[in-house]
Structure 1
Amino acid sequence: MSPRLTCHSFRHAFVSILLSKQVSIEEVRQAARHSSATTTAIYSHSLTRSLGIAEKAISEALDSEIEPES
């Protein structure tokens, strides 16, 4: 079953993409029509956590692929 695209998931993706492109928090806040930059910052923390998880997975995959030289 494929995930359903909802307004919330679209909005979350939109904000996350803007932040990943290093658009300023204030510009993203305005585009998302958040009343507070604190709300927008939550997406930034979520993105940082997701990137950390992805980085760890890539690092582990690379470590398992590299064989030490004899």
Structure 2
Amino acid sequence: MAWIIGLWCALCFLVMAADERVWADPMMLLGMAVFTVFVAGMLYQGYLWQWELAKAIANWSRRALKGNRAPD
């Protein structure tokens, strides 16, 4: 998963860096860095949410196959 986040950040960086106005303004550079970190954080949190959901479904399936009900 880390390589996907790294590739996404690199793509965002390259797209924004293609505009020469970004390099002329320090605030634009700061904004580009903040945006890249924000997107990486969103991807990371999304990944964690999907992992937790997958574990919950796997546990529910395991209990269902064993004939055990989930506690109410």
How would you bin the TM-score normalised by the shorter chain?
0.5 to 0.7
TM (norm. structure 1) is 0.53
Matched, 1:62 2:46: no
Q: Which residue of 2 aligns with 1:29?
A: 13
Aligned residues: 50
Using CA pairs under 8 Å that are at least 6 residues apart, name the structure with larger relative contact order, 1 or 2: 2
Give how far 1:28 is off. Answer: 2.7
Q: Using the alignment, how far apart are the partners of 2:5 and 2:35 within structure 1?
A: 18
**Unaligned segments of structure 2, at least 5 residues:** 18-28, 67-72
Distance 1:37 1:29, change over 3 A: same
Three-state SS of the structure 2 residue aligned to 1:41 is helix
**Largest Rg, 1 or 2:** 2
Counterpart of 1:29 in structure 2: which amino acid?
F
Aligned-residue RMSD, C-alpha:
2.8
Q: Is the 8 A contact 1:26 1:37 kept in 2?
A: no
| Percent identity of equivalent pairs | 6
Deviations 1:11-48 (A, max 9, x none): xxxxxxxx7363173443122x1642221110000011
Matched, 1:20 2:4: yes
